[in-house]
Amino acid sequence: MNALSSPEALRLKLGEWFQKHGRQLPWRDAVSPYAVLVSEFMLQQTQVVSVIPYFKRWMTRFPTVQTLAEAPEEAVLQLWQGLGYYSRARNLHKAAKAVVDRFGGELPDDPAQLATLPGVGPYSAGAVAAFAFDKPAAAVDANIARVLARFFNIHTPIDSPGGNREIWERAAGLLPSGSGGRLHTSALMELGALVCTPKKPGCLVCPLHPDCLATDPELLPRKGARKATVRLQENAAWCVSEGRLLLEQQTGRRSGGLWKLPLLESEPEGEPPLFETVYPFTHHRITLRVYPSQAPAAPKDFQRWFALESVLSEAALPAGHRRALLALISKHTPAAS
DNA sequence: AATTCGGGGTC
DNA sequence: GACCCAGAATT
């Protein structure tokens, strides 16, 4: 029976592997703690390739925590549009204001302090401490959870409280002392992204393979049952008058600030929709149908007219509604130029 | 402890 | 279709 390598030996293997195989990512080298914070917000539940263009645009438009703190929320949401989970954008905006107000414009390096910022939970607090300040802070994302569930052969569902606690304890047990959190956490995460993948993991090229306890890695990590997909239908109005389009703004914490085509109470009969698309969110699947509509005598408080030629660059819309605008504006003004 | 978030890519 | 993703907030 071969003895397990020490945490030191494991970190060394991981670090060497990362130096050789790790990707260059826009937020990975020589960037400010603020840039790390931005990247962590964008990467919550979102894949690296989707984030890269948004991150670059964001850092150009809001290069410092001060510029973000001073920006109007509409500009923040507009820049986030298409990335989904818009409460992240609102929380990032609030977090920037909190950094300016409570921390003198400098991000703290302590995970407990970081976790007091809106939108910063256990993962993001540890990630900023490790990536921005090289602290030995645990930060378990989906990649690291998968790597550790396999490495330690943990069969408890990772999305259960007990399984989550077990994974975090294992992650903490592997940390270096003093400093070195940046390389260690980056390497573990990158291993999950490139080698220890959900399907067909590359065990034969994995630097941790000699010590890995997984007997059937493809069956790990285990997760709880998903909710069944719910189908919904949304009927919306295409209401254009004098070159302007009527939209209405959503309220509440869920999709507050986002603009939609005005929603109809019921599905019109006797005429086909101008446009139809399907867009998903969480466990829902929504069919959006857009019907022609007459202009109202007076828009409601939460409705506003947008110029057709600029609405796509001014208003933040859910993806399905944005697709409808793209299709119908070009149809509406085919030779406008 | 369970639910919600209004994207998007992949197979 | 189902599954996955650099999760957090809310109830």
| Cα dihedral across residues A322, A323, A326, A331: positive or negative | negative
Give me the CA A280–C1' C1 separation in Å, rounded. Answer: 13
Length of chain A: 337
d(CA A179, CA A137): 9
Where on strand B do bases come within 7 A of a protein Cβ? 1-10
Per the annotation, the verdict on A40 as an active-site residue is: yes
Closest residue to C1 (CA, C1′): A229
The per-residue pLDDT for A247 is 95
A250-CA/B5-C1' distance, Å: 14
Answer for A282: CB within 7 Å of strand B.
yes
Residue numbers 103-142 of A with CB closer than 7 A to any atom of strand B: none
Catalytic residue, chosen from A40, A190, A234, A248, is A40
Helix axes A73-80, A87-103, angle to 10 degrees: 130
d(CA A39, C1' B5) / Å: 19
Chain C footprint bases within 7 A of protein beta carbons: 1-10
Q: What are phi and psi of A275, to 5 degrees?
A: -155, 145
Q: Which nucleotide is nearest, taking the CA of residue A197 and each C1'? A: C4
Q: Which amino acid is at A67?
A: T
> A304 - beta bridge partners?
A247
Strand C contact with A231 (CB < 7 A) = yes
What is the DSSP-derived secondary structure letter of residue A334? T
Nucleotide nearest to A260 (CA to C1'): B6
Q: Please provide the DSSP assignment of A228-269 as one string.
A: PPEEEEEEEEE-EETTEEEEEE--STTTTT-EEPPBPSS--S
Residue A6: the pLDDT is 93
**Which DSSP symbol is given to A108?**
-
pLDDT, residue A334, reads 58
Residue A312 CA distance to nucleotide B8 C1' (Å): 19
Q: What is the pLDDT of residues A253-307, one digit of tens each?
A: 666 778 999 999 888 998 999 999 988 888 888 899 999 999 988 999 889 999 9
Provide the pairing of β-strand A240-241 with A303-307. unpaired
Q: How far apart are CA A212 and CA A166, in angstroms?
A: 17
Q: How far apart are CA A317 and CA A83, in angstroms?
A: 11
Nucleic strand C within 7 A of Cβ A201 = no
What is the reported pLDDT for A110? 97
pLDDT < 50 positions in chain A:
1, 335-337
The reply to whether the CB atom of residue A22 sits less than 7 A from any atom in nucleic acid chain C is no
Which parts of A134-194 fold into alpha helices (H)? 142-151, 161-173, 181-194
For residue A38, what are the contacts with CB-CB under 8 A and spacing of at least 6?
Answer: A27, A55, A58, A59, A62, A92
Residue with tokens 């002392």: A177
**What residues contact A35, with CB distance under 8 A and at least 6 apart?**
A27, A59
Gap from A253 CA to B2 C1', in Å?
19
- List chain A domain ranges: 7-219, 230-332
Q: What dotted CATH number matches A7-219?
A: 1.10.340.30
Crossing angle between the packed helical segments A142-151 and A181-194, to the nearest 10 degrees: 80
Q: Which CATH class is domain A230-332?
A: alpha beta
Give the model confidence (pLDDT) of A69-111 as tens digits: 999 999 999 999 889 888 899 999 999 999 999 999 999 999 9
